[in-house]
Amino acid sequence: MKLLLISNSTNAGEAYLDYPKQNIKDFLGDKIKKTLFIPYAGVTFSFDEYAEKVQTRFDEIGYVVDSIHNHEDKTKAIENAEAIIVGGGNTFHMVKMLQEQGLIEPIRKKVLEGIPYVGWSAGSNVACPTICTTNDMPIVEPKSFNVLNLIPFQINPHYLDANPEGHAGETREQRIEEFLEANKNVSVLGLREGTMLWVENKTMKLIGKRNARLFKFGNEPKELTPNDDFSFLL
C-alpha cells in the first residue's frame, strides 16, 4: 500500500499545489502517466474547473488528470486507474457522493492492491477509518461517517495550535479531546499545514518543516518530528 496524505493544498502566499508538487512526483514516480482524480469535495466550483486547476499543476510534473466525473462507468475507471488522487474541499459532500455511487469499496480494494493514493485535506480525511476528525461543516448528510479505513488512526488536517485573541470557543485540541472521550481507542494525528505523511507498506514518515501532534486518550499530546518513525501508528 502506498499513500501520500497531505495536510493542505496551498501554503499562504503560494500557488495552488505548488509546495507539494515535487513530493507528489517523487511519490508517483516515472511509470505512471495518468491519474484518476476524485473532485467530489469541490462545492463552490464545477468539477471541470477543479480538474483543470489540478491539471495546471500536474502539467509541471508530467501527469494527466482524468476526472472520475467524466466516466459513465466509475467503478471501471477505478479498476483501470494507475493512481488515485483525491482533492480537498468539503469532506461530507465528497463522502455522500462516493457512497451514493458505491465507490468506497472499489477505491479501498484498488489501493490495498498497491496503486498509489494521493489525498490532500478532505482527501486525507477519507483515508482514515471515519471522517469524525474533519474540520468541515456537515453541509450534507452521508449515509455513514465510515470511509476507506486505509490507516488505523485519524488525521486532523490543517491542525492549528492557535487560540486567537478574543476567541472564547473551543480550540482544535479541545475538539480532538472531545473526540477521544467518545472514541477512547482511536489515536488522532494533528497534521500541520505544509506537512504530509508518506505511507509505504508498514512504514510511515512525516515530510515537511513542522512537527505533527499525536493525541491519545489518557495521555498528554506528544510532538513528533520529521526525524521520528511514525510506523508504530500503523
* 138 close to 26: Cβ distance less than 8 angstroms: no
Starting at the earlier edge strand, list the strands of the sheet with 188-191.
154-157, 188-191, 212-215, 222-224
* φ and ψ of 196, to 5 deg: -155, 160
Mean pLDDT rounded to a whole number for the chain: 96
User: pLDDT confidence of 165, banded at 50, 70, 90?
Assistant: confident
pLDDT in tens, 18-47: 999 999 999 999 999 999 999 999 999 999
Range of the domain at 202: 2-233
* 123 close to 41: Cβ distance less than 8 angstroms: yes
Residue identified by cell 467530489 is 40
Show which residues are catalytic.
121, 136, 158
Distance CA 1, CA 115 (A): 7
| Cα distances (Å, whole numbers) of residue 206 to 104, 127, 198, 213 | 26, 16, 6, 11
The whole-number pLDDT of residue 170 equals 84
Q: What is the CATH number of the domain that holds 164?
A: 3.40.50.880
- Total structural domains within the chain: 1
Distance CA 142, CA 77 (A): 23
Distance CA 74, CA 181 (A): 38
Closest CA to 85 of 199, 205, 4, 203: 4
For residue 33, how many other CB atoms are within 10 A of its CB? 11
Starting at the earlier edge strand, list the strands of the sheet with 64-67.
64-67, 34-38, 84-86, 117-120, 2-6, 196-200, 203-207
pTM above 0.95, yes or no: yes
User: pLDDT confidence of 166, banded at 50, 70, 90?
Assistant: confident
The residue count of the chain comes to: 234
- Beta bridge mates, 65: 35
The whole-number pLDDT of residue 213 equals 98
Distance CA 210, CA 115 (A): 28
CA dihedral 39, 51, 34, 69 (to 10 degrees): 50
Mean predicted confidence (pLDDT) in 169-192? 95
Tell whether the model's pLDDT for residue 87 goes beyond 80.
Answer: yes
The whole-number pLDDT of residue 169 equals 72
Distance CA 201, CA 138 (A): 32
Percent of the chain surpassing pLDDT 70? 99
